[in-house]
């Protein structure tokens, strides 16, 4: 399943997309430990798979929370340059901005 977490406001749109089918094959769950702002949580979904999602208290704050990583890593939209996308072994995470 493709899950989108985030929001839009007057300055743009800020979404993290996670392909939970890929998470179901993941053994490391390194996204959660790689993120310095605790954006990701690891949980069991409706199919009893262990998957990543975006913490509920982070979903409306992504622009703010990710600002330091984005500034240090050139944005990371297409490349796997952010701590979270670099740590993910399956390429399950995409950022929209």
Positions touching ligand SF4 (CB under 6 A) are 18, 22-23, 26, 28-31, 34-37, 39, 52, 65-66, 69, 82-84, 88, 90, 92-93
Residue number with CB closer to ligand SF4 (9 or 44): 44
Quote the least distance from Cβ 55 to ligand SF4, whole Å. 10
Quote the least distance from Cβ 4 to ligand SF4, whole Å. 14
Quote the least distance from Cβ 7 to ligand SF4, whole Å. 14
Q: Extract the tokens encoding 38.
A: 């605790």
Q: Extract the tokens encoding 45.
A: 């979904």
Name 84's Cβ contacts closer than 8 Å, sequence gap at least 6.
31, 34, 35, 39, 40, 69, 93
Give Cα separations from 81 to 39, 59, 88 (angstroms): 16, 21, 11
């Amino acid at each position: 399943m493709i899950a989108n977490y985030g929001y839009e406001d007057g300055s743009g749109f800020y979404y993290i997309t996670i392909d939970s089918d890929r998470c179901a094959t993941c053994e490391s769950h390194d996204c959660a430990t790689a993120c310095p702002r605790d954006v990701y949580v690891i949980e069991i979904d409706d199919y009893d798979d262990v998957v990543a999602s975006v913490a509920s208290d982070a979903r409306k704050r992504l622009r703010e929370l990710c600002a330091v990583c984005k500034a240090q890593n050139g944005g990371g939209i297409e490349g796997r340059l952010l701590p979270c996308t670099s740590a993910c072994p399956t390429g399950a995470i995409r950022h929209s901005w």
